[in-house]
């Protein structure tokens, strides 16, 4: 029964990425999340040890085998999270208008000072720059700075306790996006067979290039946009990344709240135009951490991301640490299905223009969507080794299902973040006739087309050559294709 369920494509095209944590760490709950609608699982390296993460991977891969469905695992690296030191009494209350110093002295702090153990910040700061503490709850303004201290005035006061986070929105901090912890976590993630690596606190293209070098092609790379500096070089970052995330947590701390929605729109639009999968994340169904139902505003927020054409929407604490992880995934799934059934959904999707690049593969991908509408085709079937054909088709946001057939298990798993792609790991084909026959059988088997339907088949000849997409073929199903044939 499980295999029959898994063989069918999802009802919706946008993907759901669920974060695993204490509330969803058992094989039983991971299975429930998948059946509720999770297409991919995020493992957050900011919390827990490697043994805990290895157990999650084992559970996901066991589920993958049980359901006979490629399942996507994303490891999210912590990145260079900036924090202040400790206080003698564990906490202080900073008063608006008072002076406050951050320095390199490791002694416990008080009402007047605290350690800032990040020497790079001292080099980058200038008078007038803002420092945001505890997710922006407190605001300091720099008045003077040298290599050992930063003098500030408290603009917005409040309680400040040990090791609270620090954000520096007004300058590019000369810190590598990968800390020593990240490098160890990255090596571990690659050993575990990670499909995606998420790089936190990206500020510049060089951060992405360094991570790509270390990954060495063993996983795909997703750049998290959560620093204003990254917005200034967005296209350069996207050129080097395989996907991008609108990480609204820290982005919403460092930008004024009213600037986050246009930033989100810009990131989604740029990623779609450049053919990179884009994930919208953070606080999407935040109230479901405690409540079995979301607010109407949260539902609207998720729907907006889907209408804008995001490839995936993500749950964080809702599925990782909340009281209703399964219900949160099911709600995300229902919102997506509802939006995609809206008669105006396709028109909204195409508000963003995604002009084809001047290549044969892109021209065929664009044509496939047009032909599907003209001849009322039921589905697009593409054969791919690297996944590039699937990404090109997905960029066009066709209004029919896309069945992706690949001999590469790694490719099938990575496509779990791609809009509309139902990936199947299967043997490759060696001839045009075999391609057509297999496309027909798989379309019927996975119930994305039925007898009498037309389907569009895309592939590259010679077969098995990455990046050689040059064939588009329209064929009608008879319903007899499944008889007497294997996969």
Q: Is there a domain that residue 59 lies in?
A: yes
Among 167, 186, 209, identify where a domain stops.
Answer: 167
Q: Give Dmax over CA atoms of the chain in angstroms.
A: 81
Given the residues 282, 354, 384, 406, the one annotated as active site: 282
At 487 the pLDDT is: 52
> Is 381 found in the same domain as 295?
no
At 174 the pLDDT is: 84
Among 349, 375, 410, identify where a domain stops.
Answer: 349
Does residue 160 contact residue 136 with C-beta atoms inside 8 Å? no
> Is 286 found in the same domain as 269?
yes
> Is 427 found in the same domain as 309?
no
> Is 202 found in the same domain as 341?
yes
Q: Is there a domain that residue 485 lies in?
A: no
Is 83 a catalytic site residue? yes
Tens digit of pLDDT for each residue in 351-370? Answer: 888 888 889 889 999 999 99
Residue 424 is part of a domain; what is its CATH number?
A: 3.40.1380.20
Q: Do the strands 196-199 and 72-76 form a parallel or antiparallel pair, or are they unpaired? A: parallel
Q: Which domain holds residue 435?
A: 360-476
> Is 341 found in the same domain as 370?
no
Closest CA to 411 of 401, 420, 397, 421: 421
Q: Is there a domain that residue 486 lies in?
A: no
> Is 458 found in the same domain as 311?
no
At 466 the pLDDT is: 74
Is 224 a catalytic site residue? yes
- Buried b / exposed e over 145-161, threshold 16 CB at 10 Å, is beeebbbbebeebeebe
At 288 the pLDDT is: 98
| Gyration radius (Cα) of the chain, Å | 24
Given the residues 42, 53, 391, 413, the one annotated as active site: 42
> Is 161 found in the same domain as 181?
no
Phi, psi of 334 (to 5 degrees): -65, -40
Low-confidence ranges of the chain (pLDDT < 50): 1-6, 484
Among 111, 134, 167, identify where a domain stops.
Answer: 167
> Is 182 found in the same domain as 68?
yes
At 419 the pLDDT is: 98
Q: Is there a domain that residue 227 lies in?
A: yes
Cα–Cα dist 356/397, whole Å: 12
Cα–Cα dist 84/161, whole Å: 9
Closest CA to 464 of 396, 394, 391, 389: 389
At 9 the pLDDT is: 75
Given the residues 13, 31, 130, 224, the one annotated as active site: 224
Is 42 a catalytic site residue? yes
> Is 449 found in the same domain as 424?
yes
Q: How far is CA 333 from CA 13, 36, 326, 404, 481, in A?
A: 10, 7, 11, 21, 32
At 1 the pLDDT is: 39
At 462 the pLDDT is: 81
Q: Is there a domain that residue 32 lies in?
A: yes
The structural domain count of the chain equals 3
Is 104 a catalytic site residue? no
Residue 161 is part of a domain; what is its CATH number?
A: 2.40.33.10
Cα–Cα dist 193/41, whole Å: 13
Given the residues 10, 32, 61, 83, the one annotated as active site: 83
Nearest 5°: the CA angle 425, 431, 432 is: 100
Burial class, 137, CB count within 10 angstroms (exposed 0-12 / middle 13-18 / buried 19+): middle
At 286 the pLDDT is: 96
> Is 99 found in the same domain as 144?
yes
> Is 301 found in the same domain as 195?
yes
Q: Is there a domain that residue 204 lies in?
A: yes
Query: Which residues fall within 8 angstroms of residue 117, CB to CB, at 6 or more apart?
Result: 83, 85, 104, 106
> Is 192 found in the same domain as 331?
yes
Q: Is there a domain that residue 85 lies in?
A: no
Closest CA to 74 of 177, 183, 193, 230: 193
């Amino acid at each position: 029964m499980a295999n029959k369920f898994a063989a069918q494509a999802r009802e919706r095209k946008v993907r759901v990425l669920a974060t695993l944590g204490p509330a969803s760490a058992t094989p039983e709950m991971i299975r429930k999340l998948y059946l509720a609608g999770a297409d991919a699982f995020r493992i957050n390296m900011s919390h827990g040890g490697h043994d805990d993460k290895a157990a999650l991977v084992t559970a996901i891969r066991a589920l993958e085998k049980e359901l006979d469905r490629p399942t996507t695992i994303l490891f999210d690296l912590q990145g260079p999270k900036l924090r202040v030191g400790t206080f003698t009494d564990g906490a202080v209350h900073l008063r608006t208008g008072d002076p406050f110093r951050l320095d390199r002295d490791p002694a416990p702090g008080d009402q007047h000072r605290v350690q800032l153990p990040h020497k790079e910040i001292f080099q980058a700061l200038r008078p007038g720059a803002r420092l945001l503490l505890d997710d922006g709850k407190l605001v300091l303004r720099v008045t003077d700075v040298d290599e050992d201290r930063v003098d500030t005035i408290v603009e917005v006061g409040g309680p400040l306790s040990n090791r609270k986070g620090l954000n520096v929105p007004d300058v590019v901090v000369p810190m590598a996006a990968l800390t020593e912890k990240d490098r160890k976590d990255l090596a571990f993630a690659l050993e575990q067979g990670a499909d995606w690596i998420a790089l936190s606190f990206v500020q510049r293209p060089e951060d992405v290039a360094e991570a790509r070098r270390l990954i060495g092609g063993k996983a795909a790379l997703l750049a998290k946009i959560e620093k204003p500096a990254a917005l200034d070089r967005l296209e350069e970052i996207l050129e080097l990344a395989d996907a991008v995330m609108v990480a609204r947590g820290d982005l919403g701390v460092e930008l004024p709240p009213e600037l986050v929605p246009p930033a989100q729109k810009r990131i989604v639009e740029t990623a779609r135009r450049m053919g990179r999968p884009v994930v919208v994340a953070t606080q999407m169904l935040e109230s479901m951490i405690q409540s079995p139902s979301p607010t109407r505003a949260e539902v609207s927020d998720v729907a907006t991301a889907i209408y804008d054409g995001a490839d995936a929407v993500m749950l964080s604490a809702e599925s990782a640490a909340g009281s209703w992880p399964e219900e949160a995934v099911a709600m995300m799934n229902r919102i997506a299905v509802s939006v995609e059934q809206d008669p105006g959904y396709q028109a909204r999707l195409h508000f963003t223009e995604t002009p084809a690049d001047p290549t044969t593969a892109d021209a065929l991908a664009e044509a496939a969507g047009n032909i599907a509408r003209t001849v009322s085709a039921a589905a697009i079937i593409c054969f791919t080794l690297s996944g590039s054909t699937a990404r090109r088709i997905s960029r066009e946001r066709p209004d029919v299902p896309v069945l992706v057939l690949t001999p590469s298990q790694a490719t099938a798993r990575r496509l779990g973040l791609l809009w509309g792609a139902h990936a199947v790991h299967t043997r490759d084909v060696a001839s045009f006739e075999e391609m057509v026959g297999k496309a027909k059988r798989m379309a019927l088997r996975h119930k994305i087309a039925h007898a009498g339907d037309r389907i569009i088949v895309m592939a590259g000849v010679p077969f098995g050559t990455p990046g050689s997409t040059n064939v588009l073929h329209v064929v009608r199903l008879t319903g007899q294709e499944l008889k007497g044939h294997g996969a």
